[in-house]
Amino acid sequence: MTAPLKHSDPITVDVALGDRAYDIVIGRDVLPSLGGRVAALRPGARTAIVTDRNVAKHWLEKTEASLAEAGIATSRVIVEEGEGSKTYAGLEQVSEALIAAKIERNDLVIALGGGVVGDLAGFAAAILRRGVDFVQVPTSLLAQVDSSVGGKTGINSPKGKNLLGAFHQPVLVVADTAVLDTLSPRQFRAGYAEVAKYGVLGDEAFFAWLETNHADIFAGGAAREHAIATSCRAKAAIVARDERETGERALLNLGHTFGHALEAATGFSDRLFHGEGVSVGMVLAAELSAQLGMIAEQDAMRVRRHLAEVGLPTHLQDIAGFSQEGLADADALMALMAQDKKVKRGRLTFILLGAVGGAVIAPDVEPSLVRDFLQAKLERRA
């Protein structure tokens, strides 16, 4: 697998969901085309842009200009950045603002931002007037390769991540890779964890390509579009086969059972970005797989080595404030994992590895085994 040598025309990935199919448009400087695409998709519709304060500084006016050029009326809803907006209060703020803007069922909500904005705006659209269509304009790497695709929307509960939400597919995704240039190095690295995830869970050749080409992805070269498109194709194919996560879509949660518990333990704060939690969670999943004899220890080491090479956390001890109560407590982490959405009748389900590039769904993993595994990892010396 090789990347193109130069930036190409926009790449379009189809999410094949019958009469609810939609396109993911990926490319450098595709944001100015948003207005024309929305006008062609929904003639006469008005729009409301939901974004956060940081994204608004960089991209709100450009987004509004594109819509205005296409003759589309729009309003803006600005929330605070970060997981703190993905709450009951944040949902109320956005929902009431959309009602005040008189967004009707034939209009569109536009989610301009990262995963938090996409999840929040998408959930508000799903419940507004019992369902208003929305467009995803993801501005983080994590959102472009994962959260903007597939229709999962929602907010957090104090008891866990994404426990309230709805499946509500967007009608269009416009992923401009140029907007990623404004991300901090830490934000970009966190998003890269989700890119690596697609290789680890289902495409060993892609993972090997990432091991060789990750520097060009971080530098903004043509490998970036290739990695994003490959990730989106992988997710789109799984979503098309299992939209509601009744089977194989659960594989996309590789690293998330551990990761979501770690996010909850750190209070959904900047101590641990989502992608950083996924990185630690993927390593834990690989190491648990090795302990169970499902993969060789060298395979687990390969996953850990690559994530560490790009600067992602790979051990529990890498998380800020590791020694604080909750994070270094195996029983507390087990209690948080018990709230995972994949729990069935109280039994934990993990996504583990049968090979690098071969994730499997592992139901009924013995809790005492996981607890002892976590305890051993917590006792590891830095």
Which residues are designated catalytic?
Answer: 130, 152, 194, 235, 245, 249, 253, 256, 260, 274
Closest residue by Cα to residue 155 from 140, 171, 168:
168
* CA neighbours closer than 13 Å in the CB half-sphere of residue 247: 6
Report yes or no: 99 and 72 within 8 Å, Cβ to Cβ.
no
Closest residue by Cα to residue 314 from 382, 266, 264, 261:
382
CA 233 to chain CA centroid, Å, is 14
Residue 23 phi, psi dihedral angles, 5° rounding = -100, 145
Structure tokens at 354: 């049968």
- The DSSP secondary-structure symbol of 316 reads G
Residue matched to tokens 């979501």: 260
Residue matched to tokens 């009326």: 73
Report yes or no: 275 and 283 within 8 Å, Cβ to Cβ.
no
Q: Locate all alpha helices (DSSP H) within 51-162, ordered by sequence.
A: 53-55, 61-69, 88-100, 115-127, 141-142
